Structure 1
Amino acid sequence: MLNKYARNFFTTLFTPLAALLLRWGVSPDAVTIAGTAGVAVGALAFYPQGELFWGTLFITAFVFSDVIDGIMARLRGPGGPWGSFLDSTLDRVADGAVFAGLAVWYFTGGDSVPTAVAALLCLVLGMLVSYARAKAEALGFDASVGIAERAERLVSVLVTAGLTGLGLPGEFLLGVLVLLALASGVTVFQRVAAVRRQSMDPRPAGQG
């Protein structure tokens, strides 16, 4: 849902910047790599130290690279599959860094094993959500369904982590992580079920 209603807004907002970067000779791949590096540094340097607010601000400064690189690719014109592969792969790196950074903090100085475990569950189930779709598409099926896509997961955890850094009780972050883990589990089930239905259809995959 967030992808559907927010993408047009952010596309309009960041198109001038994307066009400027292209005029300067910056490639979409460079933006993808720089954005992922920034998110990973913010998550793995700030979060394990308990700096949830500043870590979230640092991450937010880079997280929109995932929108900008896509706009740049569209403005530059048709390209090969490499950019899509790189972007998807590095998205997993960024997401993993965010949840891993939270898990490290709550296993150590944060002193909340339930929150740390919930963060790890979000990490693992989030990877499964992405893998299920990627594998389905590789086999010719459509698995773009589910209640917890990447944008929803990332925005929810970043907003709550940032507010926790400002004094919001840690139980709220735990609750959000638990809900995200449950939603991710449901999304995996939805995608498996969607592929199962399509695989039982006598028509060839991809023909509606």
Structure 2
Amino acid sequence: MLNIFARASVSRVTDPIGTWLVRRGLSPNAMTVVGTVGTVLSAVWFFPRDQLFAGSVAVTVFVLFDLLDGAMARARGSGTPFGAVLDASCDRIADGALFAALTWWALAVAQDRSLAAASLVCLVAAQVISYVKARAEASGLAADGGLVERAERFIIALVGTGLEGLSVPHAATVALWLLAALSVITVGQRLVAVWRAAKGAQG
């Protein structure tokens, strides 16, 4: 949902940076891989060590690389089919690493099984939300939108963990349970969107 409203504003900032990076010989695919590796390493290094604020900042920095690879592709004129698959695959890896690391933290550090369950719901729902869209598009149907897409997932999760790292009580708990609920709703929204698109195509 945020993507619809924020994309144009963000592009005005990222497009000049993307053009500058392309002129210096960097490729969108390289940016995608660097951002994903950085996100994964930051998540699995900081969160299980209870370094929530540092982890939130580090993951945020590397997630921003995901904005730059798109800007770089636009600077080149267009993306490539491989680049699109690589970007989508790396997004799923980064999502999985973030919520797996938070589950690890919830079990090993916070020792809160219910919070770990919320994180696992977020992990599974994140994958399903993206899969429904990809599978629908492969079938010629539309499945965009919903309450929480990738940007919202990261914002809610990282704001919660960052505040928890700054000693704000229950911030991570509120964030992860809120995100779990919204993610489940989003799965339903996308399935309904596919059903409506399929019904429209048949009619």
TM bucket, shorter chain? over 0.9
User: CA offset at residue 109 of structure 1?
Assistant: 1.7
Aligned length: 203
Counterpart residue number, 1:76: 76
Partner of 1:136 in structure 2? 136
- Cα contact 1:2–1:152 (8 A) shared by 2: yes
State whether residues 133 and 143 of structure 2, in contact with CA within 8 Å, keep that contact through their aligned partners in structure 1: yes
Matching residue of 1:197: 196
- For structure 2, the residue ranges without an aligned partner over 5 or more in a row are none
**For the residues of structure 2 that align with 1:191 and 1:61, how far apart are their CA atoms?**
29
- Mapped contact 1:38–1:62 kept (Cα < 8 A): yes
In terms of mean alpha carbon deviation, does 85-94 or 14-23 score higher?
14-23
Aligned to 2:110: 110
Contact 1:52 1:165 in 2 (8 A): yes
Give runs of aligned pairs for residues 35-184 of structure 1, distance below 5 A: 35-169=35-169, 171-184=170-183
Q: Is the 8 A contact 2:160 2:176 kept in 1?
A: no
2:172 maps to 1:188: no
Q: 1:82 to 1:38 in 2, by over 3 A?
A: same
Alpha-carbon deviation of 1:77? 1.0
Return the letter of the residue paired with 2:20.
L
Shift in Å, 1:3: 1.1
Offset at 1:203?
Answer: 4.6
Structure 1 contact 153–180 (Cα < 8 Å) conserved? yes
The Cα offsets for residues 120-150 of structure 1, whole Å up to 9 and x where unpaired, read as: 1100011111111110000000000311111
Runs of 4+ in 1 over 6 A off after TM superposition: none
Counterparts of 1:7-46 in structure 2, within 5 Å, are: 7-46=7-46
Which letter does structure 1 place at the counterpart of 2:187?
Answer: V
Alignment identity in percent? Answer: 43
| Structure 1 residue 116, shift from structure 2 partner | 1.2
Q: Distance in 1 between matches of 2:79 and 2:118?
A: 39
Write the letter of the residue equivalent to 1:82. F
Indicate if the aligned counterparts of 1:114 and 1:174 stay in contact, CA closer than 8 A.
Answer: no
